[in-house]
Amino acid sequence: MDDITALHAALAAAETRARAAETRATDAEARAVSAEAQITHLKHLIARMRQDRFG
C-alpha cells in the first residue's frame, strides 16, 4: 500500500469516527432534552398534588 492509499484509508476511518461521534452527541443531547422535559412535567405534577393535598 503506497502512502496516498494509506492516507485515503486513514482519512476515511477518521471521517467514519467523526460521524459516529456526532451521532452519539446528537443522541445524548436528545436524551438530555427529553429528561429535562420529563423533570419539568414531574415538578408540575408534584406541585399540583401538593396544592390538592395542602391547599
pLDDT in tens, 34-53: 999 999 999 999 999 999 99
Q: Using the predicted structure, report yes or no on whether residue 4 has a pLDDT greater than 70.
A: yes
- How confident is the prediction for the chain on average, in pLDDT? 96
Q: What is the DSSP letter of 22?
A: H
Q: Name residue 54's amino acid.
A: F
Question: Coil, helix or strand for 53?
Answer: helix
